[in-house]
Amino acid sequence: MKSIKLKLLFLIIIFTSNNITAQGNSKNTDADFSLAKRSYTTTSVAGKTPIKIDGLIDDAAWDAVEWTSDYVEWEPDNSTSPTYQTKMKIVYDDKNLYAAFRCYEPNPEMIVQRMGRRDDFPGDWVELNIDSYNDDRTAFSFTISASGVKGDEFVSNNGNFDPSWNPIWYLKTNIDDEGWTAEIRIPLSQLRFSADKDQVWGIQSTRRYFNNEERSTWQPVPANPAGWVSSFGELRGLKNLKPQKQLEIQPYTVGKYNSYEAETGNPFRDGRDGDLTAGLDAKIGVTNDLTVDLTINPDFGQVEADPGAVSLDGFEIFFEERRPFFVENKSVFDYSFANTQDNLFFSRRIGRSPQGTAVGPNTAYVDQPNNTTILGAAKFSGKTQNGWTIGVLESVTAREFAEVVNDDGTETEKLVEPLTNYFVGRVQKDFNDRNSYIGGMITSTHRNIEEDLTFLHTQAYSGGLDFKHNMKDRKYYVEGNAVMSHVRGSEEAIQNTQNSITHLFQRVDADHVEVDPNRTSLTGTGGRIEAGKSGGGNWRYSLGGKWISPELETNDLGFLRQADDIRQYADVRRLFTKPTSWFRRAVIGLEQMTAFDFEGNYNRIQYETKGFINYKNNWWSEFGAAHKPRIFINSFLRGGPRWRFNEENYFYIFSGTDRRKKMSFDLGYVNSQATQDAFSLERYVFRTRYQPLNSLSLSLNLEYEKNPNKTQYIAERSYNNSARYILGNIDQETLSATFRLNYNINPNLTIQYYGQPFIFKADYSKLNYVVDATAEDLNNRVSWYDENQVSFQDGTYLIDENRDNTVDYTINNPDFAFVQFRSNLVARWEYIPGSEIFFVWSQGINGFGDVNDDFSGIVDNQLLSQKPQNTFLIKATYRFIL
């Protein structure tokens, strides 16, 4: 039956590809565009009157070179003439690179000049990509919106765009009768290049023509390129360029004031507090290739708060890094070894919430820090002209103390986080004419353990090797990595690691792992190997496998969700990039995956299909479905035996209108259903965006999720000298609304607002316990308590399992409703390039509601009745360029 289903899915893809291809139609079938590498020759204008960056392109220095044009449409109708042409000029002097663009539009009123913050890429824009090492893998990207908004990104791995890079450069745009023009000046200190007398750089220019949602490029690119940077043209004529060493110092000062509801008797919650701090950021060019970034006592008060989330499975929730120091150049330090989240380096470990607690039996009040203070951090990173990518990060976090008031009124301090040093080293080397690389990474964490923090590791190390080899003009590839970790600590610390949700060595049915209370270290391995087709033609596919050994532990400075896992995976996709009478582009694909543990247990298999269509009118749809006939989970019973979930099927569909319009909408629906109604999921999503003015945009994202489950884990109890795993029926509901407002007075003065109420309800009933955790039939897997076995008093379930009128064990009522509200109002003024002033107002509410209330009741009784905590912050920075 399974093989029949797979064959049917492949037949559907083949039929669809034949049907869609037959309808292919080009808007300009007579065009004959060559993909041969183009070349543009620039020249120096040193000694001439400096170019004034005003967007007018009337300086005499521009006459030193000719225009280059003949842009070719890339999307949606590849290798055809664009709707309107674009022209480009490039010159340079001893300190700067200059570029000018003319973007033709016969009706200037049609030019879309939407505003946005840096890296928003709004409206019409033109972009310049510079591969100054000509290595076919890395580039610097500069995007110029018609409204004058800057966008800048660092491109790595031949196509990964990282917007965290924020160089200093200058631009102006202008509207005239022929369309719009732009001039930019890029200081050479912001680029990286060799010291060769004569240089050749890779370049590409892309124009977005907003009204047709059309991309055209200076260097023609195939519809499905094997890589982005490797498809660039060439910039020649660069002679006697002198590498510039970058030196920037940016001190800052922050004033902060907090107000909140006072707690009677609590000396730490008197209703208000504030402080004034200062710090320093710096960027130092050691060479033209390599820079050092420094931060002393950094402040991230202007960073947006994490979205609301609740986890019932016991695992840590992954949140993206948002702090500027760690976000910038993050691609250099990335080492994901099993999936996108499992990584040797997870920068949010630095400055994390203290892991110790000051709460004790005689504690009355506690003032515990929310985060660990980062005393200082430094990054040494860059790429050399001979293909070495280097990254080194060092950071020290302070000892953190919680202030405690005891029941007898005495005041003490308790250490909740030790002095800690973090180190990360990353290196990669290109070879084989830039078609291959090999690299490595090491991390270390050292803690000065003292007092009551012996549950933490004293040292944690991890390291790995990775590689990628591209073949046949980068159409095919093979890549992989291998990692190893080693952690040390007290017997208590290592036993905690063995018992953690990530490892669960105490699993009662696992013969390949066991808890050893005498161990003081753990060593584990992991990795991945994959091969496939990534370019050329319309088909893409990959086949791979990955493993994480039971003892691998990277959570001191990395992120690892679950160990003891071996997986095989495969996928195939068909791309449709030739527009037809009803769509611009589309993709459909199949995926398959199996999972085992290191004991050889066959835990999972699933088949999935997914697709995407961008319609002719720029509406879009995304859809997918999966069949999961086998699902076993080692962690569900928190150290108990493997648990079998019922066979599951799910599907999703999302669709939306043209996002270029002033108002657009998205609708989404997700449905999952298990056999025997063991569990299900329904998720509804509504998103809308409205831009009444070029300078003002608003968006609203509403999500509602209902996730009932007949066997949600509650607790473990002892009964008749054996473990009893208690489960229950849960009615789980989640409601969230995310509102954003962006008002851009000009490209350098913006106001942003973010607000999100989040409500989570978990209502338990019909308690049951595990009888046979791997039984196929749900009724054989668990047994439901009857009314003679369960009573409820004072918020506690009393269980008389053997019905002898004696309570065998108790369970606290697991019902709860979690309520959260987060908002952030930020006014940002970049008063000179690189120097900013932030005005921030943040609000926060956390609490627990009544699970018996509906959502409106929880909003009334919790969100609206509570006094929020308000934080007001002013931060000023000034960047000295030396």
Q: Identify the helix (H) or strand (E) that includes residue 579.
A: none
**Cis peptide before 76, with omega less than 30 degrees from 0?**
yes
User: pLDDT tens digits, residue range 764-802?
Assistant: 999 999 999 999 999 999 999 999 999 999 999 999 999
Question: Helices H, strands E: what count in the chain?
Answer: 5, 47
DSSP state at residue 856 = H
Of the listed ranges 214-218, 221-225, 594-598, 614-618, the least confidently predicted one is: 221-225
pLDDT-wise least confident of 320-324, 425-429, 618-622? 320-324
**Which residues, 6 or more positions from 105, have their beta carbon under 8 angstroms from its beta carbon?**
84, 111, 124, 178, 179, 180
Give CA–CA dist 546/528, Å, rounded. 4
Cα-based angle 733, 736, 740 (whole degrees, multiple of 5): 170
| The pair of three-digit structure tokens given for residue 11, joined into one six-digit string | 């037949």
Task: List, for residues 686-706, the tens digit of each pLDDT value.
Answer: 999 999 999 999 999 999 999
**Other residues' Cβ atoms within 10 Å of the Cβ of residue 247:** 14
> What values do phi and psi take at 15, rounded to 5?
-65, -45
Helix (H, G, I), strand (E, B) or coil at 15: helix
Instruction: Report pLDDT for 484.
Output: 98
Q: Average pLDDT of 467-494?
A: 96
Cα–Cα dist 251/294, whole Å: 11
Cα(70)–Cα(226) distance, integer angstroms? 23
pLDDT tops 80 at residue 21: no
Q: In the structure, what pLDDT confidence band is assigned to residue 54 with cuts at 50, 70 and 90?
A: very high
Q: What is the pLDDT of residue 10?
A: 38
Mean pLDDT of all residues in 332-359: 92
Q: What is the pLDDT of residue 339?
A: 81
Residue 846 — very low, low, confident or very high, per pLDDT cuts 50/70/90? confident
For residue 5, what pLDDT is reported? 38
Count of alpha carbons within 13 angstroms of residue 691, beta-carbon side: 17
C-alpha–C-alpha distance, residues 259 and 525, integer Å: 48
Backbone angles phi, psi at 444, to 5 degrees: -150, 145
> pLDDT value at position 25?
34
pLDDT beyond 90 at 88: yes
Residue 14 has pLDDT above 70, yes or no: no
Q: What is the pLDDT of residues 271-319, one digit of tens each?
A: 899 999 999 999 888 877 788 999 998 888 777 778 888 888 889 988 8
Computed over every residue of the chain, the mean pLDDT equals 91
Q: What is the mean pLDDT of residues 573-586?
A: 94
CA–CA separation, 792 and 770 (whole Å): 21
Q: Which residue has the tokens 């369960």?
A: 790
Strands 411-417 and 420-431: unpaired
Residue 20 pLDDT class (50, 70, 90 cuts): very low
**What are 628-640's pLDDT values in tens digits?**
999 999 999 999 9
Q: How many angstroms separate the CA atoms of 475 and 230, rounded?
A: 12
- The pLDDT value recorded for residue 600 is 96
Q: Which of 181, 187, 144, 155 is nearest to 169 (CA)?
A: 187
99-133 pLDDT tens trace = 999 999 999 999 999 998 888 899 999 999 999 98
Mean pLDDT of 230-251: 90
Strands (E), 489-558: 521-533, 539-548
Q: Average the pLDDT over 650-664 and give the result.
A: 96
Tell me which residue of 776, 781, 782 sits closest to 675, measured CA to CA: 776
CA distance 536 to 221: 11
Q: What is the CA angle 702-615-683, rounded to 5?
A: 25
615 contacts 582 by C-beta, under 8 angstroms: yes
In the chain, what are the domain boundaries? 33-239, 289-563
| Distance separating alpha carbons of residues 227 and 137, to the nearest angstrom | 8
Distance CA 285, CA 281 (A): 14
Place of tokens 């298990």: 674
Tokens standing for 32? Answer: 């004959």
Mean pLDDT within 562-580: 96
Q: What is the pLDDT of residue 22?
A: 33
Which range (4-18, 743-757, 848-862) has the least confidence? 4-18
Which runs of consecutive H residues, i.e. helices, occur in 248-327?
324-327
> Distance (Å, rounded) from C-alpha 473 to C-alpha 227?
10
| Model pLDDT, residue 8 | 38
Look at the domain 33-239 and name its fold. Answer: Immunoglobulin-like (2.60.40)
Q: What is the mean pLDDT of residues 850-856?
A: 85
pLDDT at 35: 82
Q: In angstroms, rounded to a whole number, what is the distance separating the alpha carbons of residues 547 and 527?
A: 6
pLDDT exceeds 90 at position 593: yes
Q: pLDDT grade, residue 34 (50/70/90)?
A: low
pLDDT value for 146: 97
Q: Give me the pLDDT at residue 63, please.
A: 96
Distance of alpha carbon 881 from alpha carbon 117, whole angstroms? 23
Q: Is 514 exposed, middle or buried (0-12, 13-18, 19+ CB in 10 A)?
A: exposed
pLDDT of residue 70: 96
Residue 209 has pLDDT above 70, yes or no: yes
The pLDDT value recorded for residue 33 is 65
Q: Is the pLDDT of residue 762 over 60?
A: yes
